């Protein structure tokens, strides 16, 4: 199990949190997602054999947020 | 047909806009809803025989926003 922190810009409310959480949660290999709105950070626990950082970044960007 | 403007606090993103728009749109008698996130204003066209301002206010508050 790997752990990564994504810096996500533009999350402003509980809906944003939900959208990001659910987009990541739908990816195979993602085990756990914690969102901190205040800090603009998303901590993900994932199986690096099944999913990569690029996939996760894309999933968040598809929801309309910038990832650094 | 009547028209009213609700002052809604706390809408921050497109999800908020959608949530408010859809909550109002589900009320019988509501014909049109326009949301301005920037101004925190929601313009509603409605049939005053079928729905009242109180119903609309409640629908928006149920989504977690304050209405003035």
Alpha helices in A1-68 (DSSP H): 14-25, 53-62
Nearest CA in chain B to A17: B15
In CATH, what number is assigned to the domain containing residue B18? 3.30.70.100
Q: What is the arithmetic mean of pLDDT over B18-27?
A: 98
The count of other CB atoms within 10 Å of the CB of residue A61 is 13
Segment A7-20, tens digit of pLDDT = 999 999 999 999 99
Q: Is the pLDDT of residue A68 over 90?
A: no
Q: Is the pLDDT of residue B67 over 90?
A: yes
Print the domain residue range for B45: 2-67
User: CA angle, corner A18, sides to A9 and A36, nearest 5?
Assistant: 50
Angle at which helix B14-25 crosses helix B53-62, to 10 degrees, equals 140
Q: Does B16 touch chain A (CB under 8 A)?
A: yes
User: Is 0.90 surpassed by the pTM of this model?
Assistant: no
Please list every residue in chain A whose beta carbon sits closer than 8 Å to the beta carbon of residue B13. Answer: 10, 12-13, 15-16
* Domains contained in chain B, number: 1
Sheet containing strand A2-9, edge to edge, reads A30-36, A41-46, A2-9, A66-67
């Amino acid at each position: 199990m790997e752990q990564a922190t994504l810096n996500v810009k533009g999350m402003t409310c509980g809906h944003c949190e939900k959208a990001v959480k659910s987009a990541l949660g739908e990816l195979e290999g993602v085990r756990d997602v914690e969102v901190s709105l205040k800090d603009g950070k998303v901590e993900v626990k994932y199986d690096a054999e099944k999913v990569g950082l690029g996939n996760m970044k894309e999933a968040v960007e598809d929801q309309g947020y910038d990832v650094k």
